[in-house]
Amino acid sequence: MNTKELLKKVRKIEIKTRRLSDHIFGGEYHSTFKGRGMTFSEVRQYQFGDDVRNIDWNVTARYNEPYVKVFEEERELTMMLMVDVSGSELFGTTNQFKKEILVEISATLAFSALQNNDKVGLILFSDEVELFIPPKKGKSHALRIIRELLEFEPKSNKTNISEALKFLINVMKKKAIVFVLSDFITDNYSDTLKIVGNKHDVTGIRVFDEKEEYIPNLGMIQVEDAETGQLQLVNTSSKKIRHEYWKYHLERVDYFKDAFTKSGSGTISCRVDESYVKKLLGYFKRRG
């Protein structure tokens, strides 16, 4: 797309996702992801209902009336968005591709962090790390992330989540809030995920299309692997083939859930034609 079309699309996504983060997710995000602790702010006169454990006895003795210490949450959190840009994300049988949903969810999370004055960074990955944008604050930085999500052209169509997680380990030395967004049609990442989960607050967001759950009976059709480009004739009228495909899908889903659960991480699964707003909000409320 040309520059004018890109800016128009960025603006459209900004308007939609910023409204969501401002009115729905900002507060939920804040209550879900806590700061590093509480720091002393000031003292003020005691008010009915204040915790007596916060009474400052030195100031109270000086003024001969009760004063309490006031504490503020010390935030300065960092969010890392790890987004799969492999070939399988350019798939969709309804109104949108998986990639478009990944972009909208990423933008919503970025603006939620922005509203809470947190830093946001981005890792785009295929079977290698394609792009790394270090965490920063500010609206212009969030818009840059959206632009990259929209127009970035990956060098590879394949997927390797473990390699992306290893990169995260090397570049993020301090604890971060990490969202891994992918269709997770792969495995061999559970061991690396355990290491990441020990240090960071990780959530896996699985976005999938309904036709990835099962193959409809369409007779003999030619299918293409989006990541390898391999073409193959498939007899979809065969119950055995449809069952094997369904079984393969369930194995990938079970692996995803099991890997994230064992690493102490959270999971969200969202079909392309479902509301990711409800999915995110439900997840934040459960955690908060």
- The per-residue pLDDT string of the chain (288 residues; one tens digit each, 9 = 90 and over) reads 666 777 787 888 888 777 777 766 767 776 777 655 555 567 889 888 888 888 999 999 989 999 988 765 556 789 999 999 998 887 766 678 899 999 999 999 998 888 888 999 999 999 999 999 999 999 899 999 999 999 999 999 999 999 999 999 999 999 999 999 999 999 899 999 999 999 999 999 999 988 777 777 888 877 767 667 778 888 878 888 888 888 888 999 999 999 999 999 999 999 998 999 899 988 988 886
How far, in whole angstroms, is CA 115 from its chain's centroid?
16
Q: Model pTM?
A: 0.79
Q: How far apart are CA 169 and CA 1, in angstroms?
A: 34
Q: Which residues, in sequence order, are bridge partners of residue 233?
A: 222
Where do we find the tokens 């409320």?
285
Write the CB contacts of 198 (distance below 8 Å, at least 6 apart in sequence).
263, 264
